[in-house]
Structure 1
Amino acid sequence: MVTSLKPLLARNRSWALMQRQNDAHYFAQTAQPQQPHSLWIGCSDSRVPAEVLTGCHPGELFVHRNIANMVVADDDNLLSVLHYALEYLHVSAIILCGHYGCGGVQAASSLPEISLAAQDNALSRRITLLRQTLGEHLHLPAESDRQNLLVEVNVRQQFANLVATVPVQQRWQQGHALHLFGCIYDLHSGHLKQLIHQYAMEKAS
């Protein structure tokens, strides 16, 4: 349990010292204007840190994370990140990443039976929307890999939402190269896998 910021501050100082010892110019380089190659849209789950699991350094990924890596048409937070990444940072790729063992997907699949269903707050509204997104797939047989299948369904559905966003559509209409990837992270193996890829309108694989 963290009851004081002191341990985190101490670890920060140790980390900063190690970076300077490995590369005396490390912070001078990271202080330069950012030029990330990709936007990462992922889950807020603490076990799925984008830079760590991809081995990226500061400045390589522009990151947005939320419950169950959702792309919602009226989410100004996500849309502002998306607009900034495309129009000002000129990223060439967007990676939408879900993960097996996603608590948001698990909550959505069991929503009628949990106390969250009777609440009226931002989390309950978001999980309700996620349950609607999963739709008929919620009736999949209760097999051992059912939750994994629902996670994959969610990635594909959120990917479709991402493709339909105005910033992405405009980028493609303007002739810019932009690759979209839908991925899954496996907590047990540490591996990422690609589920879907699209690099222009009407071109998905």
Structure 2
Amino acid sequence: MIMTTLKPLLAKNRSWALQRRARNPDYFEKYRYQQKPHSLWIGCSDSRVPAEVLTGAHPGELFVHRNIANMVVTQDDNVMSVLQYALVYLKVSQIVLCGHYGCGGVQAALSLPESALADEDSPLTRRMHELRRVLQQGLEDYHASDATEGDKLNQLVEVNLLAQFAQLVASEPVRSAWQRGQTLHLFGCVYDLQSGHLKELIHQSAEEPQA
């Protein structure tokens, strides 16, 4: 059963590799011994939002971390270790935080009180409770809005992106990079599943003084 499942993937992999070598015999040799990505991509795990595909990136260009609802939780060693490695060792000059309209994670956080997840004690439930906490003001605006359901959900996705971006900006690895003079641009984007386009919502290139 496992081999039957893997055969189409392996066949597509072989075809892809052959095509790349046919166009450029040195395609894989360039990054065989090291990687020098220009950007870290933090995105949602949704299978419809593959970073390399939608940006046309080649191997070696993007260092990628994906999780449900593209969250930046400073207590999460997974995302924070990726962030540290990208900034300290790979010296990326850009971080792209990317959400997407139609995000199942955002919708799950919205419906959490009525969901079966609410009665679970699981990693997914804990993540959804954290996401709902971050989205609290956005949820209040959602329920008070007279807009269509689709527009309200899109707005909630943008609220989440901006909230996660704020946590990214405030994170220790990012602040340390700016303080030591490292060139680093942060971009917050939303991907539109319908059009295939990325939309930039926010951009920051330096630590801003505390008010």
- Divergent runs of 4+, >6 A: none
Partner Cα distance (1:32, 1:175) in 2: 28
- Distance in 2, matches of 1:50 and 1:62, equals 10
1:129 paired with 2:130, answer yes
Q: TM-score, normalised by structure 2?
A: 0.93
Structure 2 residue 112 is matched with structure 1 residue 111: yes
Which residue of structure 2 lines up, in the alignment, with residue 14 of structure 1?
Answer: 15
**TM-fit CA distance, 1:178:** 0.6
- Aligned positions, number: 203
CA RMSD of aligned residues (A): 1.5
Residue 45 of structure 1 corresponds to 46
CA distance, structure 1, for counterparts of residue 63 and residue 125 of structure 2: 28
Q: 2:182 aligns with which of 173, 176, 184?
A: 176
Alignment of 1:185-204 (within 5 A): 185-202=191-208
Partner of 1:165: 171
Write the deviation string for residues 175-204 of structure 1: whole angstroms up to 9, x where unpaired. Answer: 11111010000000000011001000118x
Amino acid at match of 1:52: V
1:151 aligned residue (135, 157, 182)? 157
Query: C-alpha separation between the residues in 1 aligned to 2:44 and 2:146?
Result: 24
Determine the structure 1 residue equivalent to 2:79.
Answer: 78
What 5-or-longer segments of structure 1 have no aligned partner?
Answer: none
CA drift of 1:142 comes to 5.7
Separation in 1 of the partners of 2:137 and 2:204? Answer: 25
Give structure 2 stretches of 5+ with no counterpart: none
Report sequence identity in percent: 65
TM-score by length of 1: 0.95
Task: Return the alpha-carbon distance in structure 2 between the equivalents of residues 136 and 28 of structure 1.
Answer: 50
